[in-house]
Amino acid sequence: MERPVARLLDGPVDVVGDVHGEIDALLSLLGHLGYDLTGAHPDGRRVVFVGDLCDRGPDSPAVLDLVMDRVGRGLAQCVLGNHELNVLLGSPKHGNGWFFDRNHELDSGEFLHSKAATPQRRRAWVEFLNHLPLALERAELRIVHACWDDAAIARLDACLNDRPYVEVHEEFRQAAKRLLIDAGIERRAARELGRYRHELRIRNASVPMLPAVAEEATMLQNANPVKVLTSGLEAPASDPSWAGGQWRMTQRSRWWNQYADARAVVTGHYWRRDVRASAEDVTGDWDYPLGDYGPYEWMGPRRNVFCVDYSVGGRYVERQQGREPPFQTRLAALRWPERQLVFDDGERRETVGFQN
């Protein structure tokens, strides 16, 4: 298997943003892109998924099965996202209870209509996900879920080989924890967490900035190259913020503002707001890092980085509120080399500012 970076398919591709279990939106989008029910396209185009196939939406199993089938038949490619990494790690997170024998969402009453995994399918998906690359590239284009980082890729090149992602992730996590212990940061963070352990799970609580907790979280994130590529670089925040059922002390680093390579990069992950969406309709990110750019704009000093995640992962909230189409959260694909956006309702938008 080709990991951490595999060769991106030749020819025209359609790069699909984070799907998050929204199978109906995905099928609709693929239809508007011109793919038939088998996944073939009359012009020979192929699909590339940026990861985060699962969680929060109504049918993560159907999305995973569709992508696994089309990747297996050479009609598509996919990179690993942070939501896939979480299920590989067996880490209960907001919206992924569907995957586990003991669904942790039952206690909160959320996502009760999400279709559950079966043990047989779970084993097949784990095998599939462990073979996915973390990034794809060819001469003029790169695909990664959250962050293109040459240093992280080099570290993984040196140690990944055919090892499971869980094993490599744990190796880097333990190395970071040793550094945190030696520096006394882990001890200070534990004291801060102990002082506010009750408030940290209450959304309306008054929680101050916890500097050691922020420092610990930043190191655990940035020192782990598997996490860097799948969920990005982070830094201590100026103020705490609430997301995913917890208070966070970090913020996302705007890595694209330092990206200087000539090759374009397409990512997902960052819950981009379409022009029709207001901030309260986009619920997945504790920090909105794309605010310096318009909703269809290329980013970075060379204007060659694009986020194609248009927040369909928040569509479950719209349904809970009784909303009907057209939804404000959307699933999109970026057509390459045309650099045109196609949405799940068929709307097309030209992207702007690309310079390369």
SS (H, E, C) the chain: CCCCEEECCCCCEEEECCCCCCHHHHHHHHHHHCCCCCCCCCCCCEEEECCCCCCCCCCHHHHHHHHHHHHHCCCEEECCCHHHHHHHHCCCCCCCHHHCCCCCHHHHCCCCCCCCCCHHHHHHHHHHHHCCCCEEECCCEEEECCCCCHHHHHHHHCCCCCCCHHHHHHHHHHHHHHHHHHCCHHHHHHHHHHHCCCHHHCCCCCCCCCHHHHHHHHHHHHCCHHHHHHHCCEEEEEEEEEECCEEEEEEECCHHHHCCCCCEEEECCCCCCCCCCCHHHCCCCCCCCCCCCCCCECECCCCCEEECCCEHHHHHHHHHCCCCCCCCCECEEEEECCCEEEECCCCEEECECCCC
- What pLDDT sits at residue 288? 84
Beta-strand pair 264-267/141-144 = parallel
Contact present, 288 and 342 (Cβ < 8 Å): no
User: Can you give the residue range of the structural domain that contains 69?
Assistant: 5-162+256-350
Backbone angles phi, psi at 302, to 5 degrees: -100, 0
Q: Domain containing 272 — which CATH number? A: 3.60.21.10
Contact present, 257 and 237 (Cβ < 8 Å): no
Domain count, the chain: 1
Decide if 183 is inside a domain: no
Burial of 354 per CB tally in 10 Å (0-12, 13-18, 19+): middle
pLDDT along the chain (356 residues), means of 10: 95 98 98 98 98 97 98 98 98 95 90 94 97 98 98 97 96 98 98 92 90 98 98 95 84 96 97 82 70 95 98 92 91 98 98 93
Contact present, 210 and 196 (Cβ < 8 Å): yes
Decide if 9 is inside a domain: yes
Give CA–CA dist 186/220, Å, rounded: 11
Decide if 238 is inside a domain: no
- What pLDDT sits at residue 243? 77
- What pLDDT sits at residue 200? 87
Decide if 251 is inside a domain: no
- What pLDDT sits at residue 227? 98
Decide if 122 is inside a domain: yes
Decide if 202 is inside a domain: no
- What pLDDT sits at residue 281? 63
Decide if 175 is inside a domain: no
Decide if 123 is inside a domain: yes
